[in-house]
């Protein structure tokens, strides 16, 4: 089987989770199961892994990838926000380690139908969980100019938020904005392109994705719930791909430390080595933070 997503910082995660063969672990963002497979290689058959993902379609692939570890894992289609409930339904009271590898997978971004990519034309969807209702298209076509500008500024740190939002409102009054290409064309018309070192769609697409999937609020709450499930000396790894997510991890960990509930393993987040960057360009913005419960 060939998998689209190359797991990021895999060796670092394995080492820092301090995996015990008889331990119980949760992969909150199991995706195609890259990290999960590596963990199961250590814990099967004595330990147990719960793999959660809100994208149902990927779980069929992951189930097949992991079938050699049957009996040692359970895949769950759900939002990681419901982690406490998921554990209690599986009769699991405490865990030895937990990992969040947040954001999109290559499996999602490479499929134009999902609407995550500004470089491939597709519907403006951006839902990680396709059973949820809210899409990027509905936000773009229904929110007020102020609301759109706020999303672009807050979740994309886009300095031309207002200009882009006004342009969107003007264009959608002529005809509904339906595709990723429609949106990219509008963004390009709204801003001074020479000021951009990155693709001008980067920040807008990021902000819409965060809003559609309620990513920051869900991550923040799930860190608290996940930490609550950890045993003493259990570890939590959080891998993030942009500064807003990393800030949440950093602040949450600081809070646990101040309350003397945890010890921070590295003050500065770990980043990929040059060797990993050469092999996997998508690892370039990864940051890994780790704490241990006291």
Q: Give the distance, in angstroms, between the CA of residue 265 and the centroid of all CA atoms in the same chain.
A: 22
Region near ligand SAH per CB under 6 A, out of 14-22, 76-84, 171-179, 228-236: 76-84
In whole angstroms, how far apart are CA 48 and each of 63, 72, 224, 244, 247? 15, 5, 22, 32, 30
Strand partners, 108: none
Region near ligand SAH per CB under 6 A, out of 27-35, 66-74, 88-96, 171-179: 27-35
Pattern 106-145, ligand SAH, x by CB under 6 A: ----------------------x-----------------
CB of 292 to ligand SAH, least distance (A): 21
Closest CA to 49 of 65, 73, 28, 71: 73
In whole angstroms, how far apart are CA 94 and each of 43, 199, 233, 238, 292? 16, 44, 12, 18, 14
Q: Segment 85-104, which members bind ligand SAH (CB under 6 A)?
A: 101-103
Q: Of the candidates 14, 23, 35, 180, which one interacts with ligand SAH according to CB under 6 A? A: 35
Region near ligand SAH per CB under 6 A, out of 30-38, 67-75, 144-152, 153-161: 30-38
> Which DSSP letter does residue 199 get?
-
Total chain residues near ligand SAH (CB under 6 A)? 22
In whole angstroms, how far apart are CA 265 and each of 6, 20, 47, 250? 25, 18, 24, 12
Distance CA 240, CA 51 (A): 18
Q: Of the candidates 25, 80, 253, 256, which one interacts with ligand SAH according to CB under 6 A? A: 80
Pattern 213-252, ligand SAH, x by CB under 6 A: -----x----------------------------------
């Amino acid at each position: 089987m060939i998998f689209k997503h190359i797991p990021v910082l895999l060796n670092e995660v394995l080492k820092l989770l301090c995996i015990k063969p008889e331990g119980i672990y949760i992969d909150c963002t199991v995706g195609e199961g890259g990290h999960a497979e590596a963990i199961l290689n250590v814990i099967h058959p004595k330990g147990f892994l719960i793999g959660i993902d809100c994208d149902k379609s990927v779980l069929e692939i992951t189930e097949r990838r992991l079938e050699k570890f049957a009996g040692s894992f359970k895949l769950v289609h759900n939002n990681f926000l419901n982690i406490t409930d998921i554990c209690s339904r599986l009769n699991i009271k405490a865990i030895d380690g937990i990992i969040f590898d947040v954001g999109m997978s290559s499996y999602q971004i490479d499929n134009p139908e999902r609407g995550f990519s500004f470089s491939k034309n597709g519907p403006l969807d951006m839902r990680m969980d396709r059973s949820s209702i809210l899409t990027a298209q509905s936000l773009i076509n229904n929110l007020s100019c102020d609301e759109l500008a706020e999303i672009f500024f807050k979740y994309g740190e886009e300095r031309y938020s207002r200009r882009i939002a006004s342009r969107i409102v003007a264009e959608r009054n002529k005809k509904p904005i339906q595709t990723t290409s429609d949106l990219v064309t509008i963004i390009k018309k709204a801003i001074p392109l020479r000021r951009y070192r990155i693709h001008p769609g980067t920040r807008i697409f990021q902000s819409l994705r965060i809003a559609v999937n309620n990513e920051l609020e869900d991550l923040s709450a799930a860190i608290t719930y996940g930490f609550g499930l950890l045993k003493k000396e259990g570890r939590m790894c959080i891998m993030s791909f942009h500064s807003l997510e990393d800030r949440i991890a950093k602040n949450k960990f600081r809070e646990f430390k101040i309350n003397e509930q945890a010890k921070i393993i590295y003050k500065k987040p770990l980043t990929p080595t040059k060797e990993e960057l050469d092999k996997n360009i998508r690892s370039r913005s990864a940051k890994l933070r780790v704490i241990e419960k006291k």
